[in-house]
Amino acid sequence: MDLNFNKRYAYSEVYTILNWLGDDYKRKVPQNLLQLFKLERKFGYEPDIDFSKPLTDQVRQETKDIIAYLQYSCWLEEPNKRAALKSRIEENARRVKEEKRIKRQRELANRSEGEDIPLTAAVDQALSNLQG
């Protein structure tokens, strides 16, 4: 599997967090995911995480995303808490999408009239769907 460096670093951080959380949490994670985190992590990178402080400022965004996924899919058992987390995840996704849309509009507005505009992957995909 050819993973980028950010994913490998995130897997190392997730692996460290899971080991710190212990067996009760690890047992609820599918074995194939545990193996993925273990085998595809960045070897030689030992995350320096201080568990007495919030993780928010200590780990990568990819790590936070994976932990949120594990929280939702593996660890949350109460339906109302699961629904609340799903709502927050969806709201964050909408916010990120809107921020990207605004950034893209600003980029387009700042280009000179004759300048080529590279198509983003999403636009490329949409165009190929229309043609296919």
In the chain, domain spans: 5-97
In the predicted model, what is the mean pLDDT of residues 75-85? 86
Q: What is the mean pLDDT of the chain?
A: 84
What's the pLDDT at 50?
92
Share of the chain above pLDDT 70, in %: 82
Cα→Cα distances 26→22, 89, 123, Å? 6, 22, 39
d(CA 104, CA 98): 10
In the predicted model, what is the mean pLDDT of residues 29-44? 93
Q: What SS3 state is found at 121?
A: helix
119 pLDDT band, cuts 50/70/90, is low
In the predicted model, what is the mean pLDDT of residues 115-127? 61
pLDDT at 41 over 50: yes
